Chain A
């Protein structure tokens, strides 16, 4: 007889492990708007099934909590039950022997605090306030509400030009977004429940690549109204495009020599090749948008002058001033903001970093743009300096991985304290204080000093990428409400006290994404149209193919590939490689067509006009 056995999982256990994975993906795809109390009950039942059964609070208490939640859901509870539930949950949290018990009770407890109002509504009204809010998850999560299942179906059929036309109904930057959209649409893709989210952004890129030039639709008859737009970034240009299509004459005021805002002067060419950006901008300009370059608002022309000259004015100036670190030596030579650094590159005035050592402070996407640009400018060593861990960075994971692949050093848990300068007040190093990760506050891990001595990272250039602000003084002076560095608009994008003036994009939200600026642009275009006394609608006129009725068998997701790191660091050419047409078709056929199957066909499916 053997003394020990090699443990082998039994069949049931193997299947349960697979089901855990299924459940994880399912939770990832969970739409918002579900009744939180019903979800709480479901979570609790799962937690309770994990109980080993040894201890009373967990074995019995969780069951009693579940009974009480059921009473609430079934309309059999009075307000006293909430106190009883809190006491029971607290008791389990305080007395359970292991995390299976106390964490399960903690989930219920968090809900009792976090959705107290929903509990009260259930108890008092006997009704649920909740509504299914994401019938088509990708469309609901796209700030611009792009008809994603629609264009994927078109891509699947090889109708790339129609796909671009359909995208432009909600987003006049299909190419740009094909390259650099942060694709919030993919986050809760229902395909996750089968295998993995559809590569939506990649399919948009392919539509743009394969469509060739697509003319914009014809403008509606001229209304004779004129609209000034201050700032030619994605928000301003998108509004310009829709207003022009509606028949209004738009004049864009751009202080820089070319249009595109952050897309041209912030995002490096290797991520968004500028000739491809021009594809979008040219189509927008073809609608007849006029542009005045080189005029600075507040200096060369004022808001009040524009108000007098135009029927409506839109402010989309973005957020292009930098935030300061607030450390000693920040004004030294060699210290530069990421915005300025990237803008210089965009203008063609890049600094030469050959053989230099560079530190970039910050863990967001702008920081990644800065480091990867610095690498391409010939820096010998580029270091990201970040207070927390890689896992805490706000940059997209792909961007961080891309930077690391290009040889960038990542110095995490290092808080900048001071910039070392030499005699002629030029930077020659960044002093950082070692940090350790600590307790989680508001869902985010905090850091604290380790008590170790500060370290010097030698460098001659320090790039600060810790956020952006807007230049708001002129607007505040003109009566535009500004607070905490952003313009405060109503939800319609306008101001109660300044009729005819609207604002949107980064300057109204703080630094955000292209697609959010485009989403706001759509809203503002509709509301300016309404303000001018019209009710024009925007539609694509593109027929979307009926959904394919094949079974949806599990199939891997096609991810984008990139050029080899050693090649791509030598130039500013695009990094991402396209899909093949075969990959593109396969990926498109993974779409579950939530506009047709499920809740989407009943409510909130496809919007063909706005």
Chain B
């Protein structure tokens, strides 16, 4: 233990603690801006500086460790003076038109400026605008970037994709797409983790709310909206609702009030996905196709973009099943459109997703005998949903629980956990067991995929179904995914079925979810989805009555011809920029150093 004084308080903390941790232990919060625990501890913004008695220079508290006998001041006149100057410097290069910023009232720079009572900036404004493709699902505003480097660190260390990099040197140093690429030419997976880890509004999703409003306003159009499982676990955060208060039923009520004609729960198509993907897995597994290389889930578009750009040779290992979003879109524009007697072209399908990559995924084309547009027309993130609720002047406190519309109202607990890491695997195994044995397992029989044997970066579990052994693995976060794929390719591990979710914690930690700077809320949201599953009346996708009816009336059976046409996809039908192959060998000689 190390003994020291912080702000005249004697404290004792474990050796190796940072000054910031030690202060926090003592109930002294130190302001910070660029710091992200374990991800970005680089002392770039200099906001968290503290004074150590006897030393001239201030030190950053986020990445320097306590020493025995230190006397530290976190808020001395010298610290305050410097902290304020530093923030004034940052503001001189930040577009502070806060009122029109997506992060207004949820911005760390705004908060710290207020806390430091900065009423004037003594420096001239020096903005550095850069052009950006506003059609791309991910929008970056260089004017607002404060060069905290968090986006670079998240993409490097957590996701291992390195889309962002420092560009230029000296006073002109900035952040931009790495390797002088344009974002649309890059291998960005669109996971959106850079957005949720940006302290300001420099990164955001493309705002598609106006497209939704347009469809609502247009009398000729029938609007059909679906809401992904992970949305219910997070939307209430934006309104200060508790997890219990913020239900799916209230989202449905809000969407109706906003003006959507039909509201559905993506849990329905998650169950449908299990029927297709689960059947596909059982077929491929029993054929021995998964002996060398597993079948991968395909419901996460961030992961699909990743595998297409980084491991194009593994694309054939993906399940051909579309994601629940796309399946639902296809069902809406065929089965449902027919049922309500609306031409597919007069229907606008909208989805509310915890995800930015879904905005890219919707570009996938739908063929129903002939070209029929897109499965999904507009994709909104959870954040855009909350903005629409605000735009509609809805008081969230007045919302009531209402059911989703028929004939796709049913959803099971298995579908709900699609929103959390391990959930797709668990749901699929519950039904695969049924498909193989003809009887249901205990609904919690496969919860082990969440907790058993931990590899560095992913989880693996083996299950015995009759005399068969199914080797499974679950991974979340693309950095971990890369580790798993490399281990698979080197033959160090072998699995039959692997679930991949691009975002840390799965969709609950998605790049389209509400942002609370400095907090990783995935685990908390995960718990609320798990609780919904545990208390659900039905917990097996194959028992979803409405899914059964869909097969009876329209799709025939899983993997039928029609199911193939509508519910499966060709992952090769569109292109992703492929990452350049490495030079031969692991290391290279440096020339003439």
Point out residues on A near B: beta carbons under 8 Å.
33-35, 38-39, 42, 73, 121, 125-132, 141, 143, 184, 489-494, 504, 516, 519-520, 522-523, 526-527, 529-531, 535, 546-547, 549-551, 596, 601-603, 610
Contact = CB atoms under 8 A, between A and B. Distances in A.
27 contacts: A38-B169, A38-B171, A126-B130, A126-B131, A127-B176, A130-B168, A131-B166, A490-B584, A490-B585, A491-B585, A491-B588, A492-B583, A492-B588, A493-B585, A519-B589, A519-B593, A520-B589, A523-B587, A526-B586, A527-B584, A535-B490, A535-B586, A546-B16, A546-B65, A549-B55, A549-B67, A551-B57
A519 B583 CA distance: 18
Contact of A523 (B16, B167, B168, B588): B588
A-B complex: 10 closest residue pairs judged by Cβ atoms = A492-B585, A128-B168, A527-B585, A491-B588, A602-B42, A523-B587, A526-B586, A526-B587, A492-B584, A34-B169
Contacts of B170: 34-35, 38-39, 42
B230 interface: no
A443 to B, nearest CB: 15
Nearest to B64: A549
A492 B180 contact: no
B168, B171, B176, B490 pick with most chain A CB within 10 angstroms: B168
Contacts of A546: 16, 64-65
A273 B1 CA distance: 46
Contacts of A527: 584-587
Interface string B262-286: 0000000000000000000000000
A218 B267 CA distance: 54
Nearest to A529: B586
A90 B42 CA distance: 45
A484 B509 CA distance: 59
B587 A492 contact: yes
B575 interface: no
A130 B176 CA distance: 12
B168 A125 contact: no
Contact of B587 (A130, A184, A603, A610): A610
B443 interface: no
B219 interface: no
Interface string B156-174: 0000000001111111110
Contacts of A601: 41-43, 63
B465 to A, nearest CB: 34
B369 interface: no
A128 B167 contact: yes
A19 B57 CA distance: 21
Nearest to B59: A549
Nearest to B70: A549
B149 interface: yes
A516 B592 CA distance: 9
A489 B169 CA distance: 33
A512 to B, nearest CB: 10
B586 A530 contact: yes
Interface string B197-236: 0000000000000000000000000000000000000000
A551 B56 contact: yes
Contacts of A39: 170
A299 B528 CA distance: 76
B337 interface: no
B372 to A, nearest CB: 40
Given A141-B593, A519-B589, 19 more contacts: A34-B170, A38-B169, A39-B170, A42-B170, A125-B180, A128-B168, A131-B167, A131-B169, A132-B169, A184-B593, A490-B585, A492-B588, A492-B589, A529-B586, A531-B585, A535-B490, A535-B586, A549-B64, A550-B55
B8 interface: no
B585 A530 contact: yes
Contacts of B165: 131
Contacts of B44: 602
B398 interface: no
B587 A128 contact: no
Contacts of B59: 549
B43 A549 contact: no
A442 to B, nearest CB: 15
Contacts of A519: 589-590, 593
A143 B590 contact: yes
B559 interface: no
Contact of A491 (B57, B166, B589): B589
B587 A73 contact: no
A126, A516, A549, A603 pick with most chain B CB within 10 angstroms: A549
A77 to B, nearest CB: 15
B52 interface: yes
Nearest to A528: B585
Contacts of A522: 587
B590 to A, nearest CB: 7
B169 A551 contact: no
A419 B11 CA distance: 81
Contacts of B593: 141, 143, 184, 516, 519
Nearest to A128: B168
Contacts of B589: 489, 491-493, 504, 519-520, 523
A129 B55 CA distance: 39
Nearest to A602: B42
A144 to B, nearest CB: 10
A523 B586 CA distance: 8
Contacts of A127: 167-168, 176, 180
Interface in B536-593: 583-591, 593
Nearest to B16: A546
Given A127-B176, A549-B52, A601-B43, A132 B587 contact: no
Contacts of A132: 166, 169, 173
B59, B153, B588, B593 pick with most chain A CB within 10 angstroms: B593
Given A128-B167, A602-B44, A35 B587 contact: no
A89 to B, nearest CB: 22
Interface string B402-436: 00000000000000000000000000000000000
A97 B584 CA distance: 55
Contacts of B168: 35, 38, 127-128, 130
B295 to A, nearest CB: 25
A526 B588 CA distance: 9
Contacts of B166: 131-132, 603
A520 B593 CA distance: 12
B10 to A, nearest CB: 20
Contacts of B64: 546-547, 549
Contact of B172 (A38, A489, A535): A38
Nearest to A491: B588
Contacts of B130: 126
B64, B165, B169, B490 pick with most chain A CB within 10 angstroms: B169
A125 B165 CA distance: 16
Contacts of B490: 535
A492 B172 CA distance: 34
A464 B407 CA distance: 95
Contacts of A610: 587
Contacts of A504: 589
Contacts of A490: 584-585
Given A523-B589, A602-B42, A128 B57 contact: no
A33 B169 contact: yes
Contacts of A603: 166
A45 to B, nearest CB: 13
A545 to B, nearest CB: 10
A504 B589 CA distance: 10
Interface string B136-168: 000000000000010001000000000001111
A526 B149 CA distance: 31
B35 to A, nearest CB: 12
A492 B176 CA distance: 30
A494 B169 contact: no
Contacts of A529: 586
Nearest to B43: A601
Given A526-B586, A546-B65, A128 B41 contact: no
